[in-house]
Amino acid sequence: MPLILAPLAGVSDLPFRMMQRRYGCELAFTEMISARSLVYGSKQSLSMLTTHETDRPLGVQLLGNDPEMLVRALDILHPMPFCMVDINAACPVPKVTSRGEGAGLLREEPKRIAALVEAVVRAAHWPVTIKIRTGWDVDSLVAVDVARAAEDAGASGVCVHGRTRMQHYGGRVDRRAIAEVKQAVKIPVIASGDAFSPKLIKRMLDETGCDGVMIARGALGNPWVFQDVMAYLSTGTYGARRSIAEICAAMREHIGLCCDYYGDRGGTVLFRKFFTWYAKGLKAGRQFKERVFTVTERAAMLAIIDELEKADPQVLSLYDAYDMTMLDGDGS
């Protein structure tokens, strides 16, 4: 059962992917990368392509609405060791959709999206997939039409986030809409949306019949999610409860990867946000979170992690990534 690490903008860099792979992730994507920025030689965009021989298999996700620009971006990507290319038609961020990119494509006729997919399929050396949402809003639920158009254009798969663009990441995931896409096409369909826990992911698979699930926010501060899901799907149980020692060990491992890649200062500053995700289940986490945002050196961050590990267990409690009732109940 494919479990895929999503192309999280501002998150899915090489250190993050390596961390997830060490704990069970097998297939991952780069961050969302603008085709136009690649073609124009953006250093930031080019840096997002950095990978490692152990960072396999790896897909690349492109953002764009111009077939020619996407094809030119592929010329840059082809020498690199990717296994597939995904077209982003799901990003709900206003600065993206206002340019007619990401979920903004869902306001176009399906045949225009099909032309985009067809151009990429003709030029790509790898399988081409597309990530979509259920529609722009509740009055334009176009996922089935777009998925069929993409299939006819040669797409090898489609990933469906079960919300409209106007929902962003709020409200309920529409599993029925994802199931309708699965029933409408013959290519593999991957489900996306609120994949926070083993129970929710199994429910997604059961109710949609999809071929796999893409995990996004559920992996933040929880690199164990992939192994936990696989255990739950095969045995009905999972090792959800993590000790403070396990959390702190993972933090040290992660900041080490960040500093190896970005340097001591750059890696430490970047790791701040990851600290808050790792500490999200700790009762006393707030006081530590406030302190880390003033830290700029690796040694100082490690000292805070050491302090966290030695804190009074009665104050911290144990951590369970899936304790939040809203995520394991019907609050999806």
* Cα–Cα nearest to 59, from 19, 25, 104: 25
Task: With beta carbons less than 8 A apart as the criterion, state whether 93 and 106 touch.
Answer: no
In angstroms, the CA 20 to CA 25 distance is 5
Residue 271 phi/psi, 5° resolution? -70, -20
Told to judge if 91 belongs to the known catalytic residues of this protein, a careful annotator would answer yes
Q: Which of 25, 91, 210, 258 is catalytic?
A: 91
Opening angle at CA 191, ends 185 and 195, nearest 5: 170
Tracing tokens 């960072």 back to the chain, one arrives at 55
* Cα–Cα nearest to 217, from 6, 4, 2, 1: 6
* Amino acid in the structure at residue 101: E
Residue 290 phi/psi, 5° resolution? -65, -35
Task: With beta carbons less than 8 A apart as the criterion, state whether 198 and 162 touch.
Answer: no
* Amino acid in the structure at residue 48: M
What residues are annotated to the active site?
91
